[in-house]
A and B are shown apart, each in its own frame.
Chain A
Amino acid sequence: MKPGFSRRNFLKAAGAAAALAASGSLPRALSVPVFAQSTRTLTIGINATLESLDVHTAVGPNIIGSRIFGLFSDSLVQTGKDGELQPMLATEWNGDGLEWRFKLREGVIFHDGSEMTADDVVYSFSRILDPNNPQPSGFAADLQRYVTKVEATGDLEVTFTTPTRDPLLPFRLDSYWASIVPRAATEATDPADLQFKPIGAGPFKVVEFRTDDRIVLEKHSEYWGGTPTIDQVIVRFIPETATRIAALQAGDVDLITQVPVDQIGVIDSTPGIRSINSYVRNYMTINFNTVKGPTADLNVRRALALAIDRELIVDALWEGRTRVMNDYLLPGIFGYDPDRPIFPYDPDGARAALEASSYSGEPISFQTTAGYYANDDPVMTAVTQMWRDVGFTVNQELLESSAFLDLYFAGEVMTNLQSRGASGGDASLFFKDWAQGTLWVPAYYVPPEEFNELLARTSESFDQEQRYADFRRMAEIFDEDLPFTPLYQNVDIFGIREGINWEPNPNFLIDLRPYNVSIG
């Protein structure tokens, strides 16, 4: 960005001078990235809030944590843009049978200056899997069923023992909630303080955290991945969308998250800022209750699925900035089939299926949690109309999250809009949502025995060809049973100041490592 003297900049300078005189404190205009002589600061305006930065005990997994935790914490491995696992604090891994061995990276320095050893990794996982954690971490709850023991088998080697043969263990460790922390410094700190000043191995260290206000981080000059190209990162919580966009336009922040589709034009037409649109490993679906209600009839589900004109939704409501799903999996996930055609739109077929079904006009409720998904209302309204066009009676309802969850847990939801996805690069991590014991099974769908067998087999086999074939058969079972129907892939839309080079990450992480960001 050039520090020229356009009229806007002049007025800003005049205004800043006035504010400086009036308030006797630093003008806010300095949040604009100034290069060369002073500190390079990146200010991020984020839409949701975080209440704790102690990754091991924090609530999740959720989107906001995925965006922020990776700023100050590193894990053993991380899924890259192409879906492959990248070495992070672990450089190599191999496993067979019930053990996985991870070789750790040499010379990793934590924020407190200590060097990482296998003992720190063992400690970190014991902390994650501690049954007395005060806050519910969905990640820990999940991981504990896949790991029976973690032990140091060398200065820089750790071995994980799994309860059954598990080809996917490394993928399970790819999480921003699996931060590696130093034993000595963490044990010496009061747990209450760790929520505000966590210690990790990431590119930045937390200097200050005021809940509902800001997180201030400064660069970790001994970061194993190279010296960060930014000196200071400030994360500001700005829940109101209009304010967030105004903040970017006014120059008070450099990067904002969660920009609605209809604001892309506003951002792109403002000089000095631009929008970035990127795919995430996540897609919208409509779930069906296959166990009770009118949707328990397979023909009803067929009709509902065929009646949706997905391309029209993408073009009209998303300005064509995303794509219609063609599979239950996504590019970058092993098991995905790129050659499948997109899910079909066939209103005549829908009407025929409706005819053949037992549907007799009872209202079908279509629900979601209000305000949680971008464009939820327009998309639902469009789908509701498409369903009515083929002959259904539909009640569309946007519910407050608690109200929706009450119905959901009672098994009372008929159809709902929901996103599904897998951050990990393997289809098992996606299909395991349909294993026994989750809410979905058996309250909404009982998969056939064949599905359960395939799920078990793919979770334990190392034969990739066989697994691919198995995954395709599982997708076919979904085609046959229609427990849900995919719509479109989700996109993450940002606004950013010109002159900042940065790329989004398909798992929501705001990646500010040296290879991914530079200013000017």
Chain B
Amino acid sequence: MNTFIIRLVRTLLTLWGVLTLTFFLGRLKGDPVSLMLPITAPLEDFERVRRQMGLDQPLLVQYWTYLTDVLHGNLGQSIAYNQPVTEVIAERIPATLELGIPALLLSTVLSIPLGVLAAVKHNRPTDRIIMSLSLAGHSIPNFFVGIVLILIFSVQLGWTPSFGRGTTAHLILPIITLTVYPLAFLIRLTRSSMLDVLHQTYISTAQAKGLKNRQVVFVHALRNALIPVITIIGIQVAGIIAGSAIVETVFSWPGMGWLAVKSIGSRDYPVIQGIVLLSGFAFSVTHLAVDLIYVLIDPRIRE
């Protein structure tokens, strides 16, 4: 119980710290009002609008107002959308999850067997082929992958829609695009972690005991090899909420990633802060979950 309370307090402190940093760093340079009015507008209009939006108050006053609002569940009003921040974000989460969750599942489910296979067939042709593909997926920028997929499957073949969100068919290309990089990365990670474990003495012991290879690999080795992999997957789970700005922009997918980029460009402070708060929260929760999984997998960690 004690440890739980300590963790909770630490999480809250982290969230508060992250929020404060974003609040002040975001306001370091740039001005949302000057981005909204035409350059030729009279100077007094900039002042008037600034006053209307409460942006002329001293920074600490704005900060305090914002903090107290957040504690009451009010994340403020978006400057650009003129809607509550909670609404703006809530509208976009489903779109981001529609891409993020399948991509994560696909990359996890495909990478573990492929990584294990590569490790077990170390330095043989199978390993080399898998690693080359992984290298390709790792190095090609995902906007390029996205656009090439559109050109081939939409423009040339006409099999899928070229952009946007709507039917199930619309999900195919963006999910594939979003899967490529994490898949490539997780294959390498699984493989190298597996290789490490396979060279440990307890593996030789297991083999000497006469256990079948399959048992050695899947019962004894994999569990241990998965520990670093789970950490990375945990980080990726948290990252789903943040969305991929690049994939969403390429496919005109109205999700959190696109929102984040737009809001930063237009200095929509309330939305930026809302997104950061949400991401921070997601990271904290997954951090907790990953720690719990460790305990389940690795008995040495149980205290």
Binding site for B on A (CB under 8 A): 8, 11-12, 15-16, 18-19, 22-29, 45, 49, 51-52, 57, 59-62, 132, 134-136, 138, 141-142, 192, 195, 210-214, 236-240, 242-244, 246-247, 249-252, 400-403, 405-406, 408-409, 418, 433, 437-440
Contact = CB atoms under 8 A, between A and B. Distances in A.
Contact of B37 (A138, A214, A244, A440): A138
Interface residues of B, number: 54
B169 A440 contact: no
A102 to B, nearest CB: 26
Contact of A252 (B35, B161, B250): B161
B150 A141 contact: no
13 contacts: A19-B159, A23-B168, A27-B169, A28-B169, A59-B80, A141-B45, A243-B147, A402-B265, A403-B29, A405-B30, A406-B29, A406-B30, A440-B40
A169 B9 CA distance: 63
A485 to B, nearest CB: 18
Interface in B107-161: 147, 150-151, 154-155, 157-161
B159 A23 contact: no
Contacts of A249: 155, 162
Contact of A19 (B88, B160, B164, B165): B160
B151 A246 contact: yes
B200 interface: no
B167 A28 contact: yes
Interface stretch (B64-72, B229-237, B252-260, B282-290): B252-260
Contact of B250 (A24, A240, A433): A240
Contacts of A236: 163-164, 252
Given A210-B254, A246-B150, A11 B82 contact: no
Contacts of A22: 168-169
Interface of B: 29-31, 33-45, 48-49, 52, 80-83, 88, 91-92, 147, 150-151, 154-155, 157-169, 249-252, 254, 258-259, 262, 265, 267
A246 B154 contact: yes
Contacts of A402: 29-31, 34-35, 265, 267
Contact of B167 (A15, A23, A61): A23
Given A210-B254, A213-B165, A246-B147, A12 B43 contact: no
Contacts of A61: 38
Contact of A250 (B36, B155, B265, B267): B155
A212 B160 contact: no
Given A24-B168, A192-B83, 4 more contacts: A15-B158, A136-B33, A402-B34, A408-B39
A212 B258 CA distance: 9
A437 B160 CA distance: 54
A138 B155 contact: no
Given A28-B167, A238-B252, A438 B158 contact: no
B162 A243 contact: yes
A18 B169 CA distance: 10
